[in-house]
Amino acid sequence: MEISRLPSIEKRPFATVEDPSEAIVLTTEPAWECARAISINPRQRISIHGNTQADMEAIAEACEGEVVYGIGGGLAIDTAKLVAAANNLPLIALPTVLSTDAFLTDATGVREAGCVRYLPTKTPDTVIVDMEVLCNAPASMRASGAADVLSIATAMWEWQEAEKLGENRADERVTRQAVDIGDALLQTLLDNARDIGSGTPEGLTCLFELLCMEVQLCNLCGHSRLEEGSEHYFTYALENRLTVPVLHGELVGLGILLMAVLQSQPWLQYRHALECLQINYRPTAVSPDAIAETLTHLSAYVTQHQLPYTVASTLRITPEIAERTIQTVLD
Ligand SMILES: [Zn+2]
pLDDT, one tens digit per residue, over 58-115 is 999 999 999 999 999 999 999 999 999 999 999 999 999 999 999 999 999 999 999 9
Q: CATH 1.20.1090.10 spans which residues of the chain?
A: 139-330
**Is it the case that residue 330 has pLDDT exceeding 90?**
yes
pLDDT score, position 39: 96
CA of 315 to the centre of ligand 1 (A): 22
CA of 148 to the centre of ligand 1 (A): 5
Side-chain-side CA neighbours of 277 within 13 Å: the count stands at 32
Long-range contacts of 45-50 (CB under 8 A, 24+ apart): 48/72, 48/75, 48/76, 48/79
Reported as a pLDDT band with limits 50, 70 and 90, residue 156 is very high
Q: CATH 3.40.50.1970 spans which residues of the chain?
A: 8-135
Rounded Cα distance between 59 and 51, Å, is: 12
Rounded Cα distance between 204 and 132, Å, is: 10
Domain 139-330 has CATH 1.20.1090.10: yes
CA of 248 to the centre of ligand 1 (A): 7
**Is it the case that residue 1 has pLDDT exceeding 90?**
no
CA of 150 to the centre of ligand 1 (A): 10
pLDDT score, position 266: 96
pLDDT score, position 222: 94
CA of 100 to the centre of ligand 1 (A): 7
pLDDT, mean of residues 136-148: 96
pLDDT score, position 201: 97
Domain 8-135 has CATH 2.30.30.790: no
pTM for the whole thing? 0.95
- Helices 288-296 and 319-330 sit at what angle, rounded to 10 degrees? 130
**Is it the case that residue 30 has pLDDT exceeding 90?**
yes
CA of 236 to the centre of ligand 1 (A): 10
What is the overall mean pLDDT for the chain? 96
Reported as a pLDDT band with limits 50, 70 and 90, residue 163 is very high
CA 81 to chain centre: 15
pLDDT, one tens digit per residue, over 232-251 is 999 999 999 999 999 999 99
